[in-house]
Structure 1
Amino acid sequence: MAREQQGRNSGTELGRFLRARRTEVSPEEVGIKVGPGLRRTPGLRREELATLAGVSIDYYARLERGREVNPSPAVLDALARALQLGEIEHKHLHDLCLRAARGQSPDQSMPSRSVDPGTELLLEHLRPFPSRVLSRTMDLLASNPGGLRTLAGIERWPVKQRNIARYVFLHPMARELFPDWEVMTRGCVARLRALAGTDPDAPDLAELVDELHLKSPEFTQLWESYDVRGFAQGHKTMQHPEVGTLTLRYQSLLIEGTPGHRLVTYYALPGTPDYDAVVLLDRADQGHSANPAEEHRG
């Protein structure tokens, strides 16, 4: 997607989000009886959603077209209920309106890629558990050995190219590594979509989204679905070329003092085959630094 398409104003982003979520809700799910005949509109019609939310059809149409960008919190809550939004989607709806009220993005500078020494020390002490520091657009900023090696083959990419979304969609090993590749792709797009809603003109985001649109039809299809749900914890199964199948739990935590940076750690119980596998990955001869900052200094 070209920069001018991805960087539209938030009023349009609000409308696109409402339209995308409206198409995902069937009339039957909200108690609307559908008569015979073919419906041209997937999901709910505008007038159906407006009625469910208790607003006029004209007002809702203005919201979706980006001509009304300042709905009250009560209206947003009513739309969220009608659309059956989850907590993250509900918050995103409110964030879109706050962004529209500001008019301009507060900061168009590139965010910091620096990882402070304390976080680097934490990565070291989390070994053997694979751990990474990611930017808001999922750039791989630092990792311990297992954090890099669990992304099989990414070490062959230049440091600045290492990005989780880029890896999932474009690296030839990603589909083999992740049996739930489709779930991974949806999670990556959801995180980028959430950022696009609140900071659509961010240069780091626009550059990555442009590249993925150009190189991955799967990304383009998912981008248009406008899913913003994310995953802060759970489990991940991998078919790793060095240690075979392993299933790890994970946690994703924001790092205070560095906006947008997250620490992601994968773990397994000691004494299990999965734990033995992460120990092997941690101890394997690297032949390269797991920390991009160290590679730059070298």
Structure 2
Amino acid sequence: MLNALTVDVEDWYMTSDFDIPHQEWHRFEDRVAGSTRMLLELFEKYEVKGTFFILGCVASRHPELVAEIAGRGHEIASHGYWHRMLTRLSEEEFREDLRLSKRLLEEISGSPVTMFRAPSWSIAKDRFHYLRIMEEEGFHCDSSLQPFRTPLSGVDGAPLEPFMPVVNGRKLELLEFPPTVLQMKGIRMPFSGGFYLRVLPYPFIRQALRSVNRTRPGMIYIHPWEVDPDQPRLPGSPLVRLSHYYRLRSTLGKLERLLQDFEFVPLGKLLEPSKDSYPAVALGNGQPGQAAEESRFP
């Protein structure tokens, strides 16, 4: 079973953990190029390719980094421009953010950019119609709908497997690929990236992905700052500091063990079969009388 390997390319101070306005980002040490190259070298060691969801502002500051990622054969995708959660953006602001990042990444990489991941998985129930905007702007795959709730984002009960969203009664030509979680006795257990990858013991992570792989591909996600334990420390609540800084030194070793134990490819490689093979799911506001093969959520 193949699994998707994905990287959200953002710097340590850009995350939603600290919620620092982007107008102030110039005050902080720029470390994203070095930490991203650590991941590139690891992937090169195991001859693995992945999908890099890159912030437009990072691409603007480091076009050579985007060119290097593309030149090494990895897939280039958009993470938005300023790492602003979609729940804080109007439709017009979101569309402009998409266009800016897409245009810049395509100019640098020389390849079409058709995949998107919202900062902090911030597609919420009142933002399902933003998937239609993605489709209109030329995106073919989204990975923004987190199928469990956290204090920051997520949608309880959302589908665990890839699906074709139905919004306002229309099936979109856009595949939704949610982050991978393990369902155990009705409980959804995240394990496949970020804080969860850092905090959980590797044997559990390995077994969880093996369990997922019995029925479907999984997806691992990582941030470059998570392999940078020497990054500066910022003040914050105990929860924020735990979420951002806890066990940073464990990340690279766990990621390397995953590369040894599983087969990984770019996300686009998993999407090569016809989209007709994925179920259609109405996201809460589909119209009655849809095709029988469609399911409804919620």
Give the TM-score normalised by the residue count of structure 2.
Answer: 0.29
The structure with the largest helix share of the pair is 1
The structure with higher relative contact order (CA 8 Å, sep 6+) is 2
Structure with max Cα Rg? 1
The structure with the largest strand share of the pair is 2
Give the TM-score normalised by the residue count of structure 1.
Answer: 0.29
